[in-house]
Amino acid sequence: MTHISSQEHPQEIIFKKLCDHLSVIYPHRDGKSLAKRLMHTMRLDEDCQSPLPHKNLWDETDVMVITYGNTILSEKQHPLKALHHFLKTHFTMLINSVHILPFFPYSSDDGFAVINYKRVDPALGDWNDILRISTDFHLMADLVINHCSSLHRWFRNFQEGKSPGRDYFITASPDEDLSNVVRPRTTPLLRAVPRGDGCEYVWCTFSHDQIDLNFHNPQVLLEIVHIVRFYLDMGVRIFRLDAVAFLWKKIGTSCINLEETHEIIRLLRTLIEHADPNAVIITETNIPMRENLSYFGNANEAHCIYNFPLPPLLVNTLVSGNCRHLNSWLMGMPPTRNGTTYLNFIASHDGIGLRPAEGLLSEEEQEVLIQTMENFGGQVSWRALDDGSRKPYEINISLFDAMKGTTAGEDRWQMERFICAHAIMLALEGIPAFYLHSLVGTTNDYARMEAHGHNRAINRRQWQESELNAKLADPDSHHHKVFYRLRRLIQLRREQPAFHPNAAQFALQLGEQIFAFWRQSMNRRQNIFCLNNISDERQTVPLSSINLVGADRWKDLIGDQIFEDMLGTIELKPYQTLWITNRW
């Protein structure tokens, strides 16, 4: 590796880092020439900043909302304006970051088959709307770089043998052994397309409308870096690298999590953080836990990774009434280094992924979970295996409906179970991210699912702003109850140093019906003991079992109860959460 002197100019340091990255990605090419072109594309040859190593770019006040650009509709204005108005009306001083799912022109997959990376879908609004949102919230946008739409100009040029695009896509022969390739879908991997006087087969990891880009060609990397620079100029601060685990392909391998993929992420990190030291990279890698953790690298890849095991484990815990697996997972989670953290979520535009639960839940337990979710109106999406068979990939259901009951059936604890799930998410190490539909208690949208013809649409409802506002204002509406109870929990979380995303976290062993952990602020002054009854029966916990220090006065932040008798007990109602702290 190139030696870097502390006396060197920042541009020289970046140049050498880029050359190191490129020597791994393209060992047989001229890395120096390409490094200069990358720096010029990012304008780092004009100006650059030096990021502080291991700096936390977040604190306990950071809370994110995930939404489509057209989740909120209005007859008076474009969807992005309606969304901005809704966010400012309801979430000011509550949510400070927003992930707007792909807002570009697209041909399928609700935005993830991008036709033009540099345009805002006219049906949503324009770049001025995006810039306005970015002035009020930290904006996260998707960098959909594994593939593009079959309607993208690059792919049309590929078919016609023209540039740019002629060599931007991966081709393979159906006769090659592709049996090791890991797939998240059941469609055939290769798509036959006419080209010139013949036919070629292009690689399609996700669908035949999503054609995988060929990063073996450095020009593709340059195109993506140009897009990154443009997004920075348009107010994007947080980059979500969509489906990035599949980026590099090598025949004879699984084509997932390859070393070149990791090195491309490191290269993007180098470019982005020197252009804006406050920018953040988040990798979206819906894969088993150990593989997912690898995307932190040596604190030189993703700043944040999605905590993908949390949704299936937490839902399983609450419908089974047993936290054994969730507790084991928590004990096995490595603490994050400064400068890295987890993005915690329990609902999103996709389903409840089952791959991250592999090795954590048995097949029998997954089958019970799937059957329970189907009983509550959920659907199942599948992925293909090497032998041509299929396996459950995710459960598609709104989180509010997923909490209708337990494995025994529906019951009266839906609301309490739903709030408990979010109280756990809010208290865990990492940054909490709420799907907008969870914040307002949206239920399964069967009509949208049938109209769109795919299971994920069940949890992608579009609300008329006036209708949703009316429901949020109605005290008898479950939407109102969900929103205001979650609002209070978020406000409490934002005031606690012990809930900093990098504050210490320790699992507590209080039985299989109490999921408990201890958080401690980075200056060690505040402790919070988080106790969650994950069952439909009352539970009693001796105060002595959680080692409260007698010299301090302890209080439950949520219920305001004061604890003075250290030899007493705590009684938790079904699905009740306590945040017991010595500083309030």
At residue 129, the 3 state secondary structure works out as helix
Which is nearest to 420 in space by CA: 514, 338, 524?
Answer: 514
The conformation of residue 471, written as its DSSP 8-state character, comes to H
Interatomic CA distance for residues 541 and 576, integer angstroms? 13
Within 8 A by CB and 6+ apart from 472, the residues are 90, 440, 479, 480, 483
State the Cα–Cα distance between residues 457 and 386, nearest whole angstrom: 28
Instruction: Say if CB 440 and CB 468 are below 8 A apart.
Output: yes
- Type and span of the H or E element at 314: helix 310-320
Token pair 């930290």: residue? 138
Q: What is the CA radius of gyration of the chain?
A: 24
Taking alpha carbons only, the member of 210, 211, 209, 206 closest to residue 187 is 206
Judge whether 215 and 268 are in contact, CB under 8 Å. no
CA dist., res. 128 & res. 273, Å (int): 24
247 burial via Cβ count (<10 Å: 0-12, 13-18, 19+): buried
Q: What element of type H or E holds 311?
A: helix 310-320
Within 8 A by CB and 6+ apart from 371, the residues are none
Direct distance between the N- and C-terminal alpha carbons of the chain, in angstroms, rounded to an integer: 50
Contact 498, 431 (CB under 8 A): no
- Three-state secondary structure string covering 213-246: ECCCCHHHHHHHHHHHHHHHHCCEEEEEECCHHH
Distance between CA atoms of 199 and 204, rounded to whole angstroms? 16
Q: What is the 3-state secondary structure (H, E, C) of 329-358?
A: HHHHCCCCCCCCEEEECCCCCCCEECHHHE
Exposed e or buried b per residue across 307-333, where buried means at least 16 C-beta atoms within 10 angstroms of its C-beta? bbbbbbbbbbbbbbbbbebbbebbeeb
In the chain, what is the greatest distance between 2 CA atoms, to the nearest angstrom? 85
d(CA 379, CA 171): 34
Q: Which residue from 572, 506, 561 is spatially nearest to 533, judged by alpha carbons? A: 572
> Is residue 380 within 8 Å of residue 390, measured between CB atoms?
no
Active site residues: 242
| Whole-angstrom distance, CA of residue 271 vs CA of residue 257 | 21
